[in-house]
Amino acid sequence: MSSLSICVTRTTTPRLTDALRDTSPFGGVFTDHVLVCDYADGHWGTPAIVPYHDMPLVPGPLVAHYGQGIFEGLKAYPRANTGAVVFRPDANHRRMVQSCRRMAMPEVPADLFIDGIRALVAVDRQWMPAILGGTLYLRPVMFATGDALGVRPSDRYRFLIEMCPVGAYFSGAVDLVAEETYVRAFPGGTGAAKCAGNYAGSLVAQREAQARGFHNVLWLDGIERRWVEEAGLMNIAFVIGGTVVTPALNGTILPGVTRDSVLTLLRDMGVPVDERRISIDEVFEAHAAGTLEGAAGLGTAATVAPIGRLRHRDREISLPALAADSPIARAAQQLDAVRTGTAPDVHGWLCEV
Ligand SMILES: Cc1ncc(COP(=O)(O)O)c(C=O)c1O
């Protein structure tokens, strides 16, 4: 099934149980195998699928010093008779290559990424939750393993793919507070890369937002603190007067695969989509004028998470719930239908395992 040569060593002590598979919290348990591939001397080695195990590291791998660490997140969906499909692994691969370039890391080859995912899902397919809406969440990761202290790109890296069974993600409304102290990204920075440091830098903001009774922060731009960028760990879209408005990808926003998929389906449905700058003031003004029909976070985990409360400084609004026939909700339903195989995959997004 794969043009790539992958050495597979199966575990002799499988941990799979129905309870682990069907009831573990998101990211709480990994499947029995991981794919590992090391880069050294200017080229990638032979990938191997091996039992999930602790891995030795030099005491101070370069990722710990200078932060060359990137990752991806995507899902495999069940198909009848123990089959599975992976959603848009090519898009996640393209984004990982962009992250590699930004972080001065060697590029992960497409066959290693895509065929590696397909092979790993095939080996651990029995970990697919047997519950409605269950999926396998795939986490490709790459980090610098070089053993040195000089500030320079590492000469050694590890690429691995691990996987978790996850249940259906029913998101209630997400409450956000516009962040005023910290910034996630700024022009010329790493905001468009899925690098570990972006997440490390955002944890304190998330923690402080949660202490204030919100789920996460609404990230504003790093210069004027005025333009809406992202909803915590998701992209964001507003429905204003029948048009879906979402911040344009400007180098400081992570180009989400869900965002791209939802916008594509909206355009297919003939819904006007406006990718442009949108200020926090415009959001509050649209709410006051009665034209704000709702907003949603867009990301792999939830697909579409409706935004509930939104706070900026001393003003706060409760956004209207997204109606089932609102454009974003309809696009989300269509996306689920494609993933579950009840609607045709006209864009060629599904990759058979
Ligand atoms: C900062 C950030 N923005 C947006 C997204 C949504 O991206 P995707 O739709 O590819 O999951 C993510 C998801 O991981 C994220 O971490």
Q: Which residue carries 């997204």 as its tokens?
A: 322
In tens, the pLDDT along 166-220 reads: 998 777 899 999 999 999 999 999 999 999 999 999 999 999 999 999 999 999 9
Q: How many residues can be counted in the chain?
A: 353
Strand residues in the chain grouped as ranges (E): 7-8, 33-40, 43-44, 48-51, 69-71, 74-79, 83-87, 135-144, 157-166, 174-178, 216-220, 228-231, 235-240, 243-247, 273-276, 292-299, 303-312, 315-318, 350-352
Q: Within 13 Å, how many C-alpha atoms sit on residue 11's CB side? A: 15
CB 51 within 8 A of CB 33: yes
Nearest protein CA to atom 7 of ligand 1, as residue: 256
Dist CA 166 CA 73 (whole Å): 13
pLDDT of 168 reads 82
Mutate-to-test residue for ligand 1 from 75, 96, 254, highest number of ligand atoms within 8 A of CB: 254
The H or E element containing residue 62 is: helix 62-66
CA 10 – ligand 1 centroid, Å: 32
Domains of the chain: 7-168 (3.30.470.10), 174-340 (3.20.10.10)
Inter-residue contact 51 to 10 (CB < 8 Å): yes
Query: What is the residue-averaged pLDDT of the chain?
Result: 96
Model confidence band, residue 1 (pLDDT cutoffs 50, 70, 90): very low
Overall average pLDDT of the 262-281 stretch: 98
**pTM of the complete model beyond 0.85:** yes
Helix axes 89-102, 110-123, angle to 10 degrees: 130
Alpha helices in 147-294 (DSSP H): 196-211, 257-268, 280-289
User: Among the atoms of ligand 1, which is closest to the Cα of residue 254?
Assistant: 3
**Index of the ligand 1 atom closest to the CA of residue 253:** 3
| 261 Cα nearest atom in ligand 1 | 9
Other beta carbons less than 10 A from residue 179's beta carbon = 22
The residues facing 303 across adjacent strands are: 299
| pLDDT, tens only, 234-260 | 999 999 999 999 999 999 999 999 999
- Ligand 1 pocket test target in 98, 99, 198, 233 with most atoms within 8 Å of CB: 233
Residue-wise pLDDT for 85-120, tens only, equals: 999 999 999 999 999 999 999 999 999 999 999 999
User: Is the model's pLDDT at 160 over the cut of 70?
Assistant: yes
Interval between CA 289 and ligand 1 midpoint (Å)? 30
